[in-house]
Structure 1
């Protein structure tokens, strides 16, 4: 199909089948607002979509609805994770708003994989066999990675009718993003800015039904700690879960750093300075939460608390573990607390921009004494010392699997990178 603007109308040239069974191009001028979903989702011999119940649904039934095109595949884990989240959002919306629908555009490797993956979805789908329509949609919306969720308004012709960042919108706003229009997103952005400007510890952690967080006791029972008692402290919001391997690797490191910071502050005996961490759990059930939280020495939001999702959206948490640092004034200092802990351990406290700048200068001074080339026992090539200014930058250490930045030892042949502190030099080198 080809569209050209002529005056105030749209000339649509589309391929149709003539009486001889051959494709010909047919032009029709129509008002811009009458663009149909059928032009996107139908083929020459199909005017329907599959439903989750196995029936066929006419594409014409989508007219007047907000439609999301979900580009995904069973073989890619992030697609499976996002699909589970999207199912919950979809069911919430559909129960109140029938003018919403999702259509699955599959990149599955075969029919069995498609059936297995789509079998868990409650929405519509383009048949797996219709490769041409799926390819055309991928080209039209420049789909470069999956999962991808393209949101279409009933009136396709307006500039705000298509949003291509539906995955981010679902992660960030959930059902609040409906109807996924640019006007609605601007409203959400304004509300976000206002919330950030008016952010306090109380409106982050408490709600109308709960004004406390949980704490361990010596008996293993949980007690309630008023949120008001945390005001004036530096607070780390630790987004984590026991099922998450990077979380279970980072948590022991964070526990050690937390205990050192608490000890150093106790020795200073400054009543105006304190540090605390609050677990914001993404565990899947109460038993898992209890088991994971039991190893931690800090506070926690109750399992399943509604503020957990609100906090994840507020700070745009798209992966765990994540450590958000809140200052004594209740304002956000940084969302990169995990990276600062990895780089500077307890020295990162209080995580402010001035402290980070001081630590970076200190690292630069220390780097002057580091050798330019080392032979690390974990790699067969020599490693060169690099920094942000000469070929370095953010990286994941190949030894400890944690993020790093600034200085690193890097293999120029294959990209292998490690923290300077993680290098174990070959004897005699």
Structure 2
């Protein structure tokens, strides 16, 4: 019962306390999903669905004798956000949907699970609903693979890869490097990666595994010769393709860091190496406070962020700003109670990247210091009232307004 209650509580955090079932609204409780696998089915508004009929057949078949699969549909805003379109996508499906009124939850869910454009079916099955067992459910469905696809779950695929190179559990950090001989940026990145690899290996257990996207074995062999690390054999096409799908690789070169269990440590390690070539901050785990740079701007597309604009760009000024923000960021991390509301913290020095963000957020002037909460996923911004001295107490009061719903926002159009 405790596990069910934990799951129920987390579902309410993520989805709201009520869901749509056909045209009826139902409350979530500890027995709503009754121990079944949970799948999140993301469908863009304004687009015709392609997989709904196949998914409907699967849902009926696997649940014929006992409820083993629960599907929750999330219609996310895309080219159209209208009630008629939403109703057309949800009224006649045999599973649950997140309510139309919960537009913020629908938007945040898409970003939380890194869903790109198009239909996506994710399989989850841990009580915290953090772990994605597979994000390519629709591909497996269209290929006719036998549900519940456990042999294709992300951790299983990762274990299959690591077993090729490691016979026992250890504390090694693995870098999965997706690359190809025909890709010029891949060739340009290899010397940087080799430099970082050699530097990091002197301090920490670190191994890289090359996953090829080459179009021939000859190209694969030529590319692999440039690298001093392990590689998935070219003949193991299935494993190479499964790893590419597991980590949602849509462009190369791509480097992701994982632990021995296949858990992601750092998604875009290539960018980290470019900024930290000697790997001084390896494995680049999530920070409490970031210094804004052009490579970090994409983070703002997925999460709300407290951004403190400062007057200069010197190390001393950055340290002072971090000293004020850090205690707040740490407290927010300790006391966070809702998995849907990750909040990032940035210091924005006086430079071109900061100017780009100011322009995008429609900040009327270049006043500094300036404390803001920029929420690009919801297309809105809040600015702390001018004249209030920026201290730990005033920052905490400002941030508290975000979590309790009292923060006043202006739209970013």
Report the TM-score when normalising by structure 1: 0.34
Higher Rg of the two aligned structures: 1
Report the TM-score when normalising by structure 2: 0.35
